[in-house]
Amino acid sequence: MARNPNWPDSVGIRAVELIFPPQYVDQRELEVFDGVSEGKYTIGLGQSKMGFCTDREDINSLCLTVVSRLMERNSIDYSSIGRLEVGTETIIDKSKSVKSVLMKIFEEHGNFSIEGIDTTNACYGGTAALFNSVSWVESSAWDGRLAIVVAADIAVYAKGSARPTGGAGAVAMLIGPDAPLIFDRGLRSTYMRHVYDFYKPNMDSDYPVVDGKLSIQCYFSALDNCYQMYCDKADKMLPDLNQLHWNVSSFDSLLFHSPYCKLVQKSLGRLVLNDFVRAQKVGSKESYVGLEKFANVKLEDTYFDKELEKELLAFSKQCYQVKTEPYLFMTNQIGNMYTPSLYGGLVSLLLIKPVHLLAGTRIGLFSYGSGLASSFFSIRVSSDSSVGSKLDSLIKSVSHLQEQLDSRKKVSPEVFSKILEENEKNHLLVPYNPLSSVDDLFPGTWYLKHVDEKHRRYYERVPL
């Protein structure tokens, strides 16, 4: 695509912050408590720990915390922010945006001129907000300032099979030019449809209505469609000299929206299946030993084909271990954070991959939100990994996360279940004073102090 001379260069992510609740429930203990067979959550879903919030944290407080920490940790000038938007599906007010609550932070510094509001479609809202902010930086409306994108959610399910796939957290990303993580310009694909796989029609409850099997089918079909469209575009825009057609080898890391780790492992297998199907279509000579007997499959007939799935998992094992599995770290430790889930993968990558191995690589990302909205896009990592470079600083800014994860408090499934029951009872109750202690909250956490009889919420902050 021809370059517009007015576009700034290297638009992407300049800084990032991730926060999560200070308590979790252990998935092995949850298996026992729920009376399911041993290994169902830990091996079958691939999950170890699930973060959850007490009544001290809500969507506003999570977003206040993540934005405050992003600004402080990176010493960002409050007047340098010209756009701020939030992707979330955790709704506590049908009119007033979470973004408007975040203005609290900027008002104190005299900045009232910040574009952007909230975007909602299940786990995809953060990606929509990200695309909006990148577009803003590249548009005639851009005034030279930076954008912040927040993806945050509290994922809770009613008692039953979906409950172990919950989680909670927030990611904030600083978007602007000259970034160390650069979006591949003009190279992304999108697939959207009208389906009821997961939705939240009941305003009196935090819990979604979910058709688990349909949601998996929708996720796989969105992945197939996005990935094929992306590869077709990439073949035209950036012919890959090493291998005539784009495939999983074109990426150094592959990150996915991650409801639970096992689904992501299967998803990487599906990318290989897509490569195989595509290779046959375009007459490529790549070798897919073991998959030959599936040469004539129709992708839409294969979502729950166990024999094919087994072959794909075996074929893609090494690729999974190198390009995806290590970066499921946050998902494995926190659970499905909904909108931040994919970006938790990106933070895991920054945390885990040494800077000299990360520099100059390409990351493929798949975002999915039920309902459904999905996109596949890619990021190039700056090749400058020298000490003090932007990439080096970005990596150092997330290095505290391992210690913070390790310092969380383990809560028994009994207490976890009770807290969720209390939250169900107190949902929409006013006036309301939260019951949980603030003692375990991490330094710098904003928390809910009080909800008055007019549903107005008041927050305070744990000192840094």
Catalytic residue among 17, 31, 85, 89: 89
Count how many Cα atoms sit within 13 Å of the Cα of residue 83 in the half-sphere of its side chain: 26
The residue written with tokens 């308590």 in the block is 23
Please, which residue, 367 or 436, has the CB nearer to ligand ACO? Answer: 367
As a whole number of angstroms, the distance between CA 88 and CA 152 comes to 5
Q: Look at residues 402, 400, 397, 399 and name the one whose alpha carbon lies nearest to residue 14.
A: 397
Catalytic residue among 17, 31, 53, 123: 123
**3-class SS at 185?**
strand
Amino acid at 192: M
Q: How far is the CB of 54 from ligand ACO (least distance, A)?
A: 22
Q: Is 257 a catalytic residue?
A: yes
As a whole number of angstroms, the distance between CA 253 and CA 358 comes to 9
Q: How far is the CB of 322 from ligand ACO (least distance, A)?
A: 22
Please, which residue, 210 or 379, has the CB nearer to ligand ACO? Answer: 210
Token readout for 249 is 């080898």
Q: How far is the CB of 134 from ligand ACO (least distance, A)?
A: 23
Q: How far is the CB of 263 from ligand ACO (least distance, A)?
A: 6
Q: How far is the CB of 207 from ligand ACO (least distance, A)?
A: 11
Q: How far is the CB of 115 from ligand ACO (least distance, A)?
A: 29
Please, which residue, 71 or 170, has the CB nearer to ligand ACO? Answer: 170
Please, which residue, 82 or 166, has the CB nearer to ligand ACO? Answer: 166
- In the bound complex, which residue of the shown chain has the CB atom lying closest to ligand ACO? 44
Residues of this chain that bind ligand ACO (CB under 6 A): 37-40, 43-45, 123, 161-162, 165, 198, 210, 212, 215-216, 219, 259, 263, 336, 370
Please, which residue, 180 or 269, has the CB nearer to ligand ACO? Answer: 269
Who contacts 341 (Cβ-Cβ below 8 Å, separation ≥6)?
123, 167, 257, 258, 259, 331
Burial call 326-360: b when 16+ CB within 10 Å, e when fewer:
bbbbbbbbbbbbbbbbbbbbbbbbbbebebeebbe
Please, which residue, 125 or 259, has the CB nearer to ligand ACO? Answer: 259
Burial (Cβ within 10 Å: 0-12, 13-18, ≥19) of residue 401: buried
Q: How far is the CB of 222 from ligand ACO (least distance, A)?
A: 10
Q: Answer yes or no: are the C-beta atoms of 109 and 79 closer than 8 Å.
A: yes
Please, which residue, 215 or 385, has the CB nearer to ligand ACO? Answer: 215
Which strand (E) or helix (H) includes residue 253? Answer: strand 253-256
Who contacts 105 (Cβ-Cβ below 8 Å, separation ≥6)?
64, 67, 68, 71, 78
As a whole number of angstroms, the distance between CA 248 and CA 275 comes to 7
Catalytic residue among 31, 245, 257, 311: 257
The three-point CA angle 340-48-150 to 5° equals 10
Q: Is 123 a catalytic residue?
A: yes
What is the DSSP-derived secondary structure letter of residue 430? S
Please, which residue, 42 or 385, has the CB nearer to ligand ACO? Answer: 42
Token readout for 42 is 């830990």
Q: Is 89 a catalytic residue?
A: yes
Q: How far is the CB of 302 from ligand ACO (least distance, A)?
A: 14
Count how many Cα atoms sit within 13 Å of the Cα of residue 86 in the half-sphere of its side chain: 25
Please, which residue, 40 or 200, has the CB nearer to ligand ACO? Answer: 40
Q: How far is the CB of 256 from ligand ACO (least distance, A)?
A: 10
Which strand (E) or helix (H) includes residue 315? Answer: helix 306-315
Who contacts 434 (Cβ-Cβ below 8 Å, separation ≥6)?
54, 55, 56, 447, 448, 449, 450
- Cα separations in angstroms, 125 against 81, 153, 271, 409: 20, 10, 24, 30
Burial (Cβ within 10 Å: 0-12, 13-18, ≥19) of residue 85: buried
As a whole number of angstroms, the distance between CA 113 and CA 416 comes to 41
Residues noted as catalytic: 89, 123, 257
